[in-house]
Structure 1
Amino acid sequence: MDNRINEIRRQVRALRVSMMEAEAIMREQINRGEDCAFVARDMIKMRTVMSRLVEERAMLGDREPILLSGGFISRRPKAERPIALPPFKRRLMPVAVRAR
């Protein structure tokens, strides 16, 4: 039983990596204005396989999260931190009186 759980975990890790690569390819195709239907169909197939593997893993009693080492791809570019400026101190000035 432990061998089957380990095999499922290995397959899930491989599927996650493949899905991230397919997502990156699909984003590039979208940015170029190309048709990405083929890659999208492959991703849907990978998701169905993944959901079946997760169900089987849960039936075998494994509930621990499956982590990828360094496999996180950020969807957004990192935001630049604003430069902290010193607080601006306002000084009151007397209003000049208009001569009529």
Structure 2
Amino acid sequence: MDNRINQIRRTIRALRVSMLEAEAIVREQINRDEDCSFVAHEILKMRSVMSLLVRERTALGDDEPILVNCLFVPRRRPARSPVAARPLNYGVVSAQGLAARI
């Protein structure tokens, strides 16, 4: 039974990597206004296989998370936190000090 769980985990890990690559291809195709229906259909097939594997894995009693190294680079820059402006230091100037500057 442990061998079957390990085999399912390896398959799920491979499917996740394939799905990430396919999603990147779909994004590129959408950005170029190309037809991405074939790749999207393949992603849906991978998702259905993944759901069957997850059900089988759960039935075998394995519920530990499966970690996948993701090399995905976010498309948006992280939002910068607003920087509070430092108040300007206007000193009180007397009339005599002002006259001395002129």
SS at match of 2:27: helix
Gaps of 5+ in 2: 93-102
User: Does residue 70 of structure 2 align to residue 76 of structure 1?
Assistant: no
Q: Which whole-Å CA distance do the structure 2 matches of 1:66 and 1:46 have between them?
A: 17
User: Does residue 86 of structure 2 align to residue 87 of structure 1?
Assistant: yes
Q: Report matched runs for 1:1-100 at 5 Å.
A: 1-68=1-68, 70-79=69-78, 81=80, 84=83, 86-89=85-88
Residue 89 of structure 1 and its aligned partner are, at CA, apart by 3.6
Runs of 4+ in structure 1 deviating by more than 6 angstroms, as ranges, are none
Percent identity (aligned): 57
Instruction: State the TM-score, normalized to the length of structure 2.
Output: 0.78
SS at match of 1:76: coil
Q: Which whole-Å CA distance do the structure 2 matches of 1:75 and 1:86 have between them?
A: 29
Residue 75 of structure 1 and its aligned partner are, at CA, apart by 4.0
Gaps of 5+ in 1: 94-100
Residue 76 of structure 1 and its aligned partner are, at CA, apart by 3.5
SS at match of 2:77: coil
Q: Which whole-Å CA distance do the structure 1 matches of 2:51 and 2:35 have between them?
A: 26
Q: CA offsets per residue over residues 18-41 of structure 1, 9 Å max, x none?
A: 000000000000000000000000
Relative to its length, the structure with more helix (as a share) is: 2
Q: Which whole-Å CA distance do the structure 1 matches of 2:53 and 2:74 have between them?
A: 26
Instruction: State the TM-score, normalized to the length of structure 1.
Output: 0.79
